[in-house]
Chains A and B, each alone.
Chain A
Amino acid sequence: MSRHEPFSVARTEELVAQHLHLEGPLLPILHAVQEVFGFVPEAAVPVVASGLNVSRADVHGVVTFYEDFHQKPDGEHVVKICRAEACQSMGGEELAAHAERCLGVSFGQTSADGQVTLEKVFCLGLCATAPAAMVNGDLRGRLSRAGVEAIAREVGR
């Protein structure tokens, strides 16, 4: 994504150094790495590992355990739709299917042109204003079919 920096070892080292004073700095570092580069590049893993004096396998294991960290860049726009029970009770599953059609991409996928990533989430804490979604970090509640179509236009579909 354009708002992200290209990967560099020096920048990664800097991010590690900024968090070394913390107790248990690995998750904050990985969040920072992803914030800066848009994902956690494979090449960042050994840099983080040596900065923290742990094995690459340890860092890799953490990166792969958590849903938030991904090893490939997202699309230009990220649409997350809640698939948990409260949203299901308000027709969230039909909306999710509608979103796949409108955005031309399936859940867990990034469109071939790199424009949109569609992800499922389990609960955004908006369960009394369901169905809920997050578009590039922006929250949406009481989502309707028209709302989904508006999101599609917003992300250039």
Chain B
Amino acid sequence: MSVRLYLPRDAAALACGADKVAKALAAAAPGVPLIRNGSRGMLWLEPLLEVEYHGVRYGFGPVSAADVAGLVSAGILEDPAEVSHPLAIGIVAQHPFMAAQQRLTFARCGVIDPLSLDDYIEHGGYKGLERAMKLAPADIVAEVTKSGLRGRGGAGFPTGIKWKTVLDAEASQKYIVCNADEGDSGTFADRMIIEGDPFQLIEGMTIAGIAVGATRGYVYIRSEYPHAIATLTEAIHKARRLGFLGPKVYGSAHAFELEVRAGAGAYVCGEETALLESIEGKRGVVRAKPPLPAHKGLFGKPTIINNVLSLTAVPHIMAAGAEYYANYGMGRSRGTMPIQIAGNVKHGGLFEVAFGITLGELVEKIGGGTASGRPVRAVQIGGPLGAYFPPALFDTPFDYEAFTAKGGLIGHGGIVVFDDTVDMAKMARFAFDFCSIESCGKCTPCRIGSTRGKETIDRIVAGIDVEANIALVEDLSQTMKLGSLCALGGFTPYPVLSALTHFPEDFRRTAPAVAAE
């Protein structure tokens, strides 16, 4: 038989029953090869079964174990192109959600077997490292700078400039640290790429190591991601066994070693200096800057700390050239952004596209509106520290500066959609609550202010001195903005104030409505 089956091992697919489907397939189609790939990112279709026939992949989803027998008897193993079945979506690569993307970082995700180095190399893997090895370290850094790549973890700091600082630092030991703490609600791109194409992260970190003269790297993955931890750990073992990591990377004079570290359930450890403290075995308390991690980072040594998406963009930049990458995008936001569409949305998933697409296109056209079928009322962009935007701001292009101009931020690129049942006073209260739970405790405005903010919103909701208490929340937000060392305390005002600005009516409910709750 000439067909081959693909069924994701991605955590979202597993959460929707992929392992049960795999079991049913083994029983209904014994002997047919089944590859456990990453996810394509069309998460509403997970588990998405793909049947490869004459080199073309046809999709069926979302498949449950109970659907398997029916799919097999409909003929998916003979000629999937001819099968008419309610779950058939046709050729996966031609699906409108896929065809509308510009996948660079996620080009292989969902396509290859994540743990096959052969697959990785066959699909263009290690081309970036090959080119980097022919360049002088300063030229690698210059290439990253020229690409316009900005940190995808949230702050949008130019990656090349960070690398240059570490390159120029003199030290006996330097480190590359990958931030895979991905704590923002509405984000899962780091998880998906680690589970679906882990060698790309290994390659990106290796290039970073060669560029700045660092011989050790750490990937700090949050403990909520056990599958990502397992996949990357296995990929590192394989890479080491085959000479892609170790004392002579790729047969060269360069040494590079990589280790996975698991987080322990603290959101603040996504902040770069708290993360370094955590790897060092300390409480995840934010460090004052300066010194920058680039000067005194992990164990006091010069350290590059970058988000997963920043590091996984690098192999492509090196392979295709800085200009190729920089040709995508708008303004000072160059390249592509793996955007995550989540929450109450019909077609949620990972959508990688050049900067410049509007928020409305993403939510309404790509995402298809709400899953509930009700009108969209609000979207939160950039995680728990990101602003809530109403549909009136849907013409905002996905671009660092454009979002700042509208009082928001793109953060790690997550969009959470809410329908018209959302209570924005509740969401503002949650923002304060989240901040008070996750605060590292170092600054008073963050630690105490967030608790006071929560209590004040409770009073507003109860109808007590509403206008005075709203003014108090605004005041408190100002204090948190100015008096916080990091963005946890400093940016919590974004969701709070955007909710107050764009949805004022939710804070001014009449007393009887409150009493009825």
Contacts and interface: CB of A to CB of B under 8 A. Distances in A.
Contacts of A88: 427, 430
Given A66-B265, A69-B264, A140-B15, A90 B427 contact: no
A87 B345 CA distance: 11
B199 interface: no
Given A84-B384, A85-B186, A137 B267 contact: no
Interface residues of A, number: 42
B266 A129 contact: no
Contact of A130 (B14, B227, B299, B343): B343
B464 interface: no
Given A89-B343, A121-B224, A141 B16 contact: yes
B250 interface: no
A31 B260 CA distance: 13
Contact of B11 (A25, A28, A125): A125
Contact of B283 (A61, A85, A140): A61
A65 B299 CA distance: 20
B348 A129 contact: yes
B485 interface: no
B282 interface: yes
Nearest to A58: B282
Interface string A64-91: 0111110000000000000011111110
A28 B221 CA distance: 12
B35 interface: no
Given A26-B281, A89-B343, A122-B183, A129 B43 contact: yes
Contacts of A121: 224, 265
Interface string B455-473: 0000000000000000000
B342 interface: yes
B427 A27 contact: no
A23 B299 contact: yes
Given A61-B283, A67-B264, A126-B12, A86 B185 contact: yes
B16 A66 contact: no
B161 to A, nearest CB: 27
The SS class assigned to the A binding surface is loop
Contacts of B342: 86, 127-128, 130
Interface in B149-188: 182-188
B44 A128 contact: yes
Contact of B344 (A26, A27, A65, A89): A89
Contact-residue bracket for chain B: 35 or more
In this complex, which of B265, B380, B414, B422 has the most chain A Cβ atoms within 10 angstroms of its Cβ? B265
A11 interface: no
Given A28-B261, A85-B185, A126-B188, A65 B283 contact: yes
A22, A58, A85, A124 — most chain B CB neighbours (10 Å): A85
A121 B223 CA distance: 11
A132 B416 CA distance: 14
A78 to B, nearest CB: 13
A128 B345 contact: yes
15 contacts: A23-B216, A62-B282, A65-B283, A66-B264, A66-B265, A67-B264, A67-B265, A123-B183, A123-B224, A125-B182, A125-B191, A126-B11, A128-B12, A129-B16, A130-B343
Interface of B: 11-12, 14-16, 43-44, 46, 182-188, 191, 216, 223-227, 259, 261-267, 278-285, 299, 340-345, 348-349, 371, 380, 384, 414, 416-419, 422, 427, 430, 434, 438
